[in-house]
Amino acid sequence: MPEIGAYSPRGGLAVTDQFPINPDLGSIESLRYFPNHRPLLVFLITLAVWQCSTLFLQAQTGGPVPTTLAALEAYPSYFHRMEIVILAQAAGDRDEVFVTDGKRRLRTFNIPPPLSSDPEIIEIRGTYWDVGRLDPDDPRIAGYNIKQVSELSLGKPWPSSGELKLLIADSTQRANRSGDTTIRTLSLEPSRYRDQLVTLKGRFRGRNLYGDLPEAPGVTLDDFILRSNGASVWVVGMEPSGPGFDLDVTARVDTSRWLQITGVVSGRDQLIEVVAESIDVIDRPAAARNSVTAIPQAQGPAPEVIFSTPTPDDTEVGTKGLVRFQFSRDMRATSFADHIKAFYVGTRTALELTVEYRPRNRVLSVQFAEPLLTYHQVEVNLADGILATDGANLVPHTLRFATGGQ
């Protein structure tokens, strides 16, 4: 990357790990010092801090940003604190869960471990954190045992910047990989479209004038960004001009225009490009005026109980009466009512209980109204009629355990 103050064909202001912005500090963290150019450097630092802070905030306001694990790995400073959406598979076990694309993996919370050795691809929405940039008492990561993770993986109570990166998931769903090719689908799975001819529609955003992407490809001075529904892609190989239009990649006044481009997908998974073969100006598509775009969701596989406390056939269980179930999919909270029954084995009198579902980690808590009797077998039944968020029925489940003496 060129030094600050030098002209570059990359153009615009690219936020990279060589020129990272810490949004918690609002300052430039890595900058070479040139004593012979101190006045110019001071001016450029002031300008860069102001502009980058503005761009960062603008980049955060368009909903979850579609991206890839490759981009998260390459540009952790840019994505830190950002709401993102990725396509990946779950990996790991009950103690440690990761998401992976087959080459890379990222530690995650609020995603259950895979049920098979070949899990399905899921769409994950959540917030990406470079934990070392946060204070240990930061409330945004409270309750996730970060200190324990740091001790086990790094041998120290708190990571340094770049040592522990993770995704705290807000929701997951079965990946919908059908439909038209858009900037969003391209941003989520660039390898699927590489070397293919695609046609994309989006808003002209100039040479990264709004900080939509972490870096510029630097192919020519006329490279520009096309953006739609929160997703962005670099367009290279042609100037943004044609019959009746001639857009300036450095002028925000031109960023109200919409373009349709046809070209071949190129670049890397962390920074994709489309080598344009044709560019046309178009009216803003009607669908793009909607602030929220509904994503059709096919009904997924039947959800299952993947973990419980107590464990099946457990003994010497305490009598305080708290049972937890974790599910393989996001569940419909209202469907639990009247579908959970508990008994002492050998009787048919239902025990009084209350339930609470926590969608963030897919955990159902069952609390008995009275302490359980000592040295009794207890059976908890999750009956047919409990539903995932897409309407798929839970596989009925029975948990049996025995209480101890206290």
Residues 6+ apart with CB under 8 A from 167: 72, 84, 86, 99, 106, 107, 108, 109, 124, 126, 127, 128, 129
Q: What's the average model confidence in pLDDT over 324-341?
A: 91
Query: Comparing 65-174 with 183-289, is the CATH topology the same?
Result: yes
Is the Cβ–Cβ distance between 59 and 80 less than 8 Å?
Answer: no
**Mean pLDDT across the chain:** 83
CATH number of 305-402: 2.60.40.1220
Instruction: Check: pTM over 0.75? Answer yes or no.
Output: no
Residue 193, helix vs strand vs coil: helix
CATH 2.40.50.200 assigned to 183-289: yes
Q: Where are the domains of the chain?
A: 65-174, 183-289, 305-402
At residue 210 the predicted structure's pLDDT band, cuts being 50, 70 and 90, is very high
Task: Kindly report, residue by residue over 92-101, the tens digit of the pLDDT.
Answer: 887 789 999 9
Q: Which of 39, 49, 43 is nearest to 19 (CA)?
A: 49
| Fold assignment, 65-174 | OB fold (Dihydrolipoamide Acetyltransferase, E2P) (2.40.50)
- CA 275 and chain centroid, separation: 27
C-alpha to C-alpha distances, 110 to 12, 127, 328, 340, 400, nearest whole angstrom: 37, 11, 11, 23, 26
Q: Phi and psi for 145 in degrees, rounded to 5?
A: 55, 40
Is the Cβ–Cβ distance between 301 and 114 less than 8 Å?
Answer: no
At residue 20 the predicted structure's pLDDT band, cuts being 50, 70 and 90, is very low
Residues 6+ apart with CB under 8 A from 287: 293
Is the Cβ–Cβ distance between 362 and 170 less than 8 Å?
Answer: no
Residues 6+ apart with CB under 8 A from 54: none
